[in-house]
Amino acid sequence: MEKYDCHSATQDYPHPFTHEVKLTRAQRIRGIILGSILFPLRITLAALFFLIIWPLARLRLAGLSEEERARPVTGWRRWLFHPIILLLSRAVFFSLGFLWVKVKGRRADLKEAPVLVVAPHSGFLDMLVLCPTQLATVVSRSENTSLPVIGALLEFNQSVLVSRKDPESRKKAVTQLTERLTSNGYWPQMLMFPEGTTTNGRALIKFKPGAFLAGVPVQPVLLRYPNKLVSEFLPVYNPSQEEKNDPNLYADNVQKLMAKALGVPATDYVMEGRVPVSKLGGLSLPLESPARETLSLLHRNG
């Protein structure tokens, strides 16, 4: 087993919430030179595409009543606006440097797997996976609807919105999510990041049960960042009856499957509030506890 430094969460698993960037001198020089030229150019192009996307995304649901907005968009509103937003979305990521995305495997269709579960979740740019999945519907924080452009895209996507601070909102989101996943093809395919937060990708943290509550088949999707982004569709995972009855067991088994395919550990770490913890039964133990920090400090000072 590989040993890790003082930032390790345990002796067995790497800390999933700390990012360490190590660059050679040549890489730093190259970053400074190319960054000073490419960064403003890339940001300008991305901003331009976002400005085009903004009004077009709003037009998709313009003029519809609340009742009509609660149903999936069909007809001309879908065949006209969907490919345009998809193309512009890909153009945004192209301008940010994602020139080519290698995709392995076959994306399951809606009837095979109503939900795609994607991991690891490393940052905002992971949303590029929406392009090869044809802008699958997502789950997002309700607070994001107030953001420029992002709010319009969430409306366009007919996303399931949830407020982490409101328990009633979470209950409503679970009900809405279950209805969509069991709609037998009425609603489009959904895409979820079951880790529920971003990590450094060195380990998979415990999956939240949201994507598994309905007990429907899921398709695991792996994200890899070597020099190019690689998305990999694994075979559809059909849950056993025991897993259908226990969403947490279902989530844990899919987590282990994806971790094995990625070659990283599957851990029981979660993020509660803003604190990374490890679950032990009903207890939540901080990864970086005060006692551990105190012992490290005493050790460093002899």
Whether residue 238 sits in one domain with residue 119: yes
Question: How would you label 104-138 residue by residue, b for 16+ Cβ within 10 Å and e otherwise?
Answer: eeebbebeebbbbbbbbbbeeebbbbbbbbebbbb
Could you tell me which residues are beta bridge partners of residue 280? Answer: 283
* Burial category of 246 from C-beta neighbours within 10 Å (exposed 0-12, middle 13-18, buried 19 and up): middle
Establish if 37 belongs to a structural domain: yes
> Residue 204: which of 221, 190, 181 has the closest Cα?
221
Establish if 9 belongs to a structural domain: no
Whether residue 122 sits in one domain with residue 48: no
Whether residue 208 sits in one domain with residue 126: yes
Establish if 1 belongs to a structural domain: no
Establish if 36 belongs to a structural domain: yes
Run means of pLDDT, 10 residues per run, the chain, 302 residues: 37 71 84 89 96 96 93 94 96 92 94 96 91 95 91 96 85 93 95 92 92 96 78 94 96 96 90 71 66 68 74
Q: DSSP state, 160?
A: E
β-strand pairing of 137-141 with 218-224? unpaired
User: At which residue do the structure tokens 């595409």 appear?
Assistant: 49
Order across the sheet with 275-280: list the strands. Answer: 269-272, 275-280, 283-286
Summarize the chain as % helix, strand, coil (round to 5).
45, 15, 40
Task: Return the pLDDT at 262.
Answer: 92
Whether residue 217 sits in one domain with residue 92: no
Q: Report the C-alpha gap between 296 and 302 in whole angstroms.
A: 10
Sign of CA dihedral 244, 249, 253, 255: positive
Task: Return the pLDDT at 49.
Answer: 97
User: At which residue do the structure tokens 């792996």 appear?
Assistant: 222
Asked which of 97, 117, 139 is the last residue of a domain, the reply is 97
Task: Return the pLDDT at 288.
Answer: 64
Q: Report the C-alpha gap between 187 and 114 in whole angstroms.
A: 9
249 within 8 A of 242, measured Cβ to Cβ: yes
Whether residue 89 sits in one domain with residue 138: no
Encoded tokens for 105: 């495997």
Amino acid at 14: P
> Rounded to 10 degrees, what is the CA torsion of 240, 241, 243, 246?
180
Whether residue 117 sits in one domain with residue 93: no
Asked which of 97, 117, 133 is the last residue of a domain, the reply is 97
Q: Report the C-alpha gap between 259 and 262 in whole angstroms.
A: 5
pTM: 0.84
Amino acid at 52: I
Task: Return the pLDDT at 296.
Answer: 67
Task: Return the pLDDT at 249.
Answer: 96
Total number of domains in the chain: 2
- Helices 150-157 and 76-95: crossing angle in degrees, nearest 10, is 140
Establish if 6 belongs to a structural domain: no
Which residue segment(s) compose the domain that 211 sits in?
100-295
Establish if 115 belongs to a structural domain: yes
Q: Report the C-alpha gap between 264 and 256 in whole angstroms.
A: 9
Establish if 143 belongs to a structural domain: yes
Encoded tokens for 2: 């590989």
Asked which of 37, 66, 97 is the last residue of a domain, the reply is 97
